[in-house]
Structure 1
Amino acid sequence: MDFVLGFFKEFVNLGAAVMLPVVIALLGILFRMRPSQAIRSGLLVGIGFQGIVLIITFLLSTMQPVFDFYKVLGSGYDVAEIGFAALGGASWTAPYAIFVIPAIILVNIILIRLKWTKVLNVDIWNFMHFLVPGALAWVLFDSPVIGFLVTLALSVIDLFIAEWCAPQWGEFFGLEGTACTCLGFIVYEYPLAMLINKIIDVIPGINKIDLNIEKLSSKIGILGDPAIIGLFVGLFLGVLTQQDLASILKLMAGMAAVLVLIPRMVSIMMEGLSPIGAGASEFANKHLDADSEIYVGMDIALGLGDPACITCTSIMIPITVGLSFLIPGMRFFPAAILAEVCYVSPMAVLASKGNIFRTLVIMTVFMYLMLFFANMFAPYATEMLRACGVDFGGGLVTASHFGYNPGCLIVEFIAKLLGI
């Protein structure tokens, strides 16, 4: 059993860029596609996703001077903050992980068979959205069984909400046949974003503000081109963070490249996913008695192809830093969270239909709540991470998931009510 768990952990640790081609190719063969076609689909999905990862890495590298500018503000805090990658890896050490992963996959297939869902979640790396709250429940309530049940229950809830979001997701981003299955963004952020939009709708004057890149493009011509927008975004960040001329020029060129390249990588992924989606629907109709299309559950990163996402991400970085100083009793600086802001943008952009003003309002509210709760529940986060082998020399540690993952928030509030 330890060997199986070790193999699975090592496979997951290879990252989505390696996992996706393998999983997609195996699914294609399962769906009775020709092996050559299934392998090609898997490779295209992997190549596209690897391209997205490389561009996001390039984006973060390009913006490093900006992060460095703000990082000097972070001295004096007594809580360490880690990124989602380290947190996800830690969650796989839970003692029930080897059992719950096949259980999640099996339950997903059963629910499709029963026609209770149309979503086939192949985004195994992001099972961490279920594993982290489950590991937190395991540690706080001292019960692997509770951890297992929390993890499994969240995976089921995720399918239903992903299906609800899928039509809007597919239509707006041009990702038909896919669904976003990242729990925190679809179960928490998207409904919150819709609520904020409803509130804005009834505020006179504010409800008339419509800063939409596509509409602006039709009015201002080349100035609305993603590459040109990238230049202005880089200029804005460089001037705001007092960079020298060379750094500003690098920021401008880098941001322009990111806004042009990410949509191209998404299109490569979709070239691979489209045959898989068609094969899944055909297989479901024949063998699972399903009478409609199957949505392939994928990473939130697919939504980054919209120019509004990276534009709003860039603007939100200094706003997020400012928000951290508005949190009562703030004990950590959001260094790793700054690198995660880009993943918050797609659902906010989707809910606001590309309206940059509304997107920024949504992201500001969401980021404040994330920082607030990640700070409040740092002691719980520390207990969980220590149990999973992450220890910062006896100090406190936290991460973004403890502030926005709905499973974590529910577990944390229950523990607080019980006085744990």
Structure 2
Amino acid sequence: MDILKTVVNYVLNLGSAVFVPLIMFILALIAGLKFKKSIMAALTLGVAFSGMTLVVNYMTDAIAPAGKAMSKAFHLSLNAVDMGWPGVAAITWTYKAAFLFFPLLLIINFLMLSFKLTKTLNVDMWNVWNKIFTYVVVLYFTHSSIMGFIVASIQIVLELKSGDMFHRHIEDLTGMPGVTVPHFVTLFAVILQPLNRLMDFIPIFNKPFDAEALQKRIGILGDNTVMGAIIGVLLGFGAGYSVSGSLNLAVQAATAMTLFPMISKLFMKALQPIADAMSGFMQKHFSGREVYIGLDWPILAGRSELWVTVIILVPVMLIFAMILPHNTVLPFAGIINLSFVVAALLITGANLLRMIVLGLITTPVFLYGGTFFAPVITNLAKQTGAVKVHAGQQLSWSTFEGPDFRMFFGEAFAGKWWAIAAAIIWLLVFVWLYHDQTHIPLPSQRYGAPAVAGNAASAVAAETDSSAEEDTSDSTNLDNIDGLDFGSTSKKSPGKDAEKTSLDDIDGLDFSDVNKNHKKS
């Protein structure tokens, strides 16, 4: 057992930026991709993860102080300290049974793939901490380790099925083939599902409202960089910053909004050759069976709708923290609500208007979730000794991941009848969501918006192949076709309405400007 613990801890200590590319490198070699291309793809993936982490942290470090300043302006004084997900994850990793969940995830994933119950191969092992924390929550309510392992196993199964149902939407939104996001945050789509379906009956929500459509409507104001600057400066003024402070925040937000889509192209560049190799491997050895590689949510971070939504929701969360009765959480470290926005992006197909409205409606769910689970997080911190807790103080997380799932299933396994009913309803809505997401049109087709995936994939393919090609432009050099045999071209005659050009039509025209560098024959 100690050997297993040592091995698991060593692997996980590598971090996602090293561990995930390492796994992808091995998979690429198994799939038959050449060693050089496998190395380049894996390294590029590591660079993409590291780059995205840097920019996410950059964005958070810029926005969080503004949120804190705004909370002071609102005179908020609440006793539950918001640690955000990094703080909760750090405490969770110190739990004595944490190392057992790594093999648990592998075993369940292997069995489901073997029996064709999923198409998702989850290599995002670092986020196993989510399963550990669910175990801790259930243990807190039930005092039973067995119950904790059962609910954590249910979560793993649901995450894999979530990866299956969102795969085609992720490819459409990002242009990345063969990948998906089996992350716990996607399961909040169960709560969003009824609300999102109600919006189907309201005309304004059924128009294209992604970043591209927005830019077409409002021009430069819809540009990523400009949107970031506008939101940043407004947030700065709202936080009571000076003009210079607000302008600095505007530039910081604009920087992040500009870099996100740039880094997302690195994900596509890394994953395209691996996905192609995996597709060929499955076609050859497993009769074309599909397998999706499960990665962390940052592969979606190139969508500007995600960041516009979370920044807009910052003051909204602070206002709710001030007015909601019985709320004890002061938003700070977790004020960027990634627990909501990933599911919202996927279920709405990047419809920005729907995402913002859903965020307005569901923000109280997270604050009350943080309040409800504050004793659990505080107790875990005391048990592990990872964080010192002062008298009268509680630790929490203002954008607590999966408050619905953990509350319903934790209390259900503790024998609470209302929670049992809620858990059953939750599972039924998940089945409804799964059916919907596997049948509804893709995001690029849902609201009459132009396709994203094809354009992105084409861009990446062109970039990948560009190392062996020269500059390509719309014009064609005559030297490139000189001496070629066109005898095999189609000999079909043009239709009746086809325009014909006679030699008389061009007789006397001046062609002196055409291809001056072409040698005379």
| Counterpart position of 2:294 | 297
Q: How does 1:325-364 map to 2 (within 5 A)?
A: 325-338=322-335, 340-342=336-338, 344-364=340-360
Partners in 1 of 2:283 and 2:346 — Cα distance? 30
* 1:371 lines up with 2:370 in the alignment: no
More moved, 319-328 vs 71-80: 71-80
**Structure 1 length-normalised TM:** 0.88
Partners in 2 of 1:74 and 1:16 — Cα distance? 39
| Counterpart position of 1:201 | 200
- Pick closer, same or farther for the CA change 1:105–1:298 going to 2, 3 Å: same
Report if aligned partners of 1:374, 1:403 keep a CA contact under 8 Å in 2.
no
How far does the alpha carbon of each residue in 1:44-87 deviate from its partner, in whole angstroms, 9 at most, with x for none? 11101111111112112332441231242576322223221232
3-state SS of the aligned residue for 1:120? strand
3-state SS of the aligned residue for 1:357? helix
Q: How does 1:200-219 map to 2 (within 5 A)?
A: 200-203=199-202, 207=205, 211-219=209-217
Instruction: Give, as a single letter, the amino acid of the residue that structure 1 aligns with 2:191.
Output: L
Partners in 2 of 1:389 and 1:136 — Cα distance? 17
How far does the alpha carbon of each residue in 1:232-262 deviate from its partner, in whole angstroms, 9 at most, with x for none? 2222212222321211221222222211211
Partners in 1 of 2:75 and 2:10 — Cα distance? 34
Q: 2:232 aligns with which of 231, 234, 237?
A: 234
More moved, 245-254 vs 135-144: 135-144
Q: How does 1:18-417 map to 2 (within 5 A)?
A: 18-72=18-72, 73=74, 76-183=77-184, 185-188=185-188, 190-203=189-202, 207=205, 211-287=209-285, 289=286, 291-338=288-335, 340-342=336-338, 344-391=340-387, 392-393=389-390, 395-399=393-397, 402=400, 404-414=402-412, 415=414, 417=416
Partners in 2 of 1:267 and 1:375 — Cα distance? 39
How far does the alpha carbon of each residue in 1:304-335 deviate from its partner, in whole angstroms, 9 at most, with x for none? 21121111121111011111123321112011
Instruction: Give, as a single letter, the amino acid of the residue that structure 1 aligns with 2:364.
Output: Y
Partners in 1 of 2:400 and 2:351 — Cα distance? 28
- Pick closer, same or farther for the CA change 1:402–1:257 going to 2, 3 Å: closer
How far does the alpha carbon of each residue in 1:388-411 deviate from its partner, in whole angstroms, 9 at most, with x for none? 444513543223575625542234
Partners in 2 of 1:358 and 1:401 — Cα distance? 19
- Pick closer, same or farther for the CA change 1:57–1:123 going to 2, 3 Å: same
Partners in 1 of 2:280 and 2:139 — Cα distance? 40
Instruction: Give, as a single letter, the amino acid of the residue that structure 1 aligns with 2:41.
Output: S
Instruction: Give, as a single letter, the amino acid of the residue that structure 2 aligns with 1:409.
Output: M
| Counterpart position of 2:9 | 9
Structure 1 unpaired stretches of 5+: none
Instruction: Give, as a single letter, the amino acid of the residue that structure 2 aligns with 1:371.
Output: L
Partners in 1 of 2:275 and 2:53 — Cα distance? 22
- Pick closer, same or farther for the CA change 1:352–1:418 going to 2, 3 Å: closer
Structure with bigger gyration radius: 2
Partners in 2 of 1:393 and 1:3 — Cα distance? 36
Report if aligned partners of 2:210, 2:350 keep a CA contact under 8 Å in 1.
yes
3-state SS of the aligned residue for 2:81? strand
Deviation for aligned residue 1:225: 2.0
Partners in 2 of 1:15 and 1:371 — Cα distance? 29
Report if aligned partners of 2:334, 2:399 keep a CA contact under 8 Å in 1.
no
Partners in 2 of 1:142 and 1:18 — Cα distance? 36
3-state SS of the aligned residue for 1:33? coil
3-state SS of the aligned residue for 1:325? helix
3-state SS of the aligned residue for 1:130? helix
Partners in 2 of 1:148 and 1:372 — Cα distance? 25
- Pick closer, same or farther for the CA change 1:111–1:208 going to 2, 3 Å: closer
More moved, 403-412 vs 320-329: 403-412
Partners in 1 of 2:27 and 2:98 — Cα distance? 22
Partners in 2 of 1:328 and 1:10 — Cα distance? 45
Instruction: Give, as a single letter, the amino acid of the residue that structure 1 aligns with 2:38.
Output: A
Partners in 2 of 1:10 and 1:144 — Cα distance? 25
- Pick closer, same or farther for the CA change 1:411–1:113 going to 2, 3 Å: closer
How far does the alpha carbon of each residue in 1:109-151 deviate from its partner, in whole angstroms, 9 at most, with x for none? 2322322211111111112222210122234333333333322
Report if aligned partners of 2:137, 2:406 keep a CA contact under 8 Å in 1.
yes
Report if aligned partners of 1:233, 1:314 keep a CA contact under 8 Å in 2.
yes
Deviation for aligned residue 1:192: 2.8
Partners in 1 of 2:64 and 2:82 — Cα distance? 17
Instruction: Give, as a single letter, the amino acid of the residue that structure 2 aligns with 1:196.
Output: L
- Pick closer, same or farther for the CA change 1:389–1:286 going to 2, 3 Å: farther
3-state SS of the aligned residue for 1:296? strand
Instruction: Give, as a single letter, the amino acid of the residue that structure 1 aligns with 2:174.
Output: F
Deviation for aligned residue 1:173: 2.9
Instruction: Give, as a single letter, the amino acid of the residue that structure 2 aligns with 1:221.
Output: G
- Pick closer, same or farther for the CA change 1:84–1:201 going to 2, 3 Å: same
3-state SS of the aligned residue for 2:33? coil
Deviation for aligned residue 1:6: 4.1
More moved, 162-171 vs 210-219: 210-219
More moved, 307-316 vs 21-30: 21-30
Partners in 1 of 2:182 and 2:382 — Cα distance? 28
| Counterpart position of 2:427 | none
- Pick closer, same or farther for the CA change 1:416–1:83 going to 2, 3 Å: farther
Partners in 2 of 1:260 and 1:237 — Cα distance? 18
3-state SS of the aligned residue for 1:397? strand
Report if aligned partners of 2:94, 2:386 keep a CA contact under 8 Å in 1.
no
Partners in 2 of 1:135 and 1:279 — Cα distance? 40
- Pick closer, same or farther for the CA change 1:398–1:277 going to 2, 3 Å: same
More moved, 229-238 vs 315-324: 229-238
How many positions carry a matched residue from both structures?
Answer: 415
Structure 2 unpaired stretches of 5+: 419-521
More moved, 79-88 vs 48-57: 79-88
Deviation for aligned residue 1:286: 4.8
Partners in 2 of 1:344 and 1:47 — Cα distance? 26
Deviation for aligned residue 1:161: 1.8
How far does the alpha carbon of each residue in 1:363-399 deviate from its partner, in whole angstroms, 9 at most, with x for none? 1233211111221232233334433444513543223
Instruction: Give, as a single letter, the amino acid of the residue that structure 2 aligns with 1:241.
Output: A
More moved, 23-32 vs 352-361: 23-32
3-state SS of the aligned residue for 2:156? helix
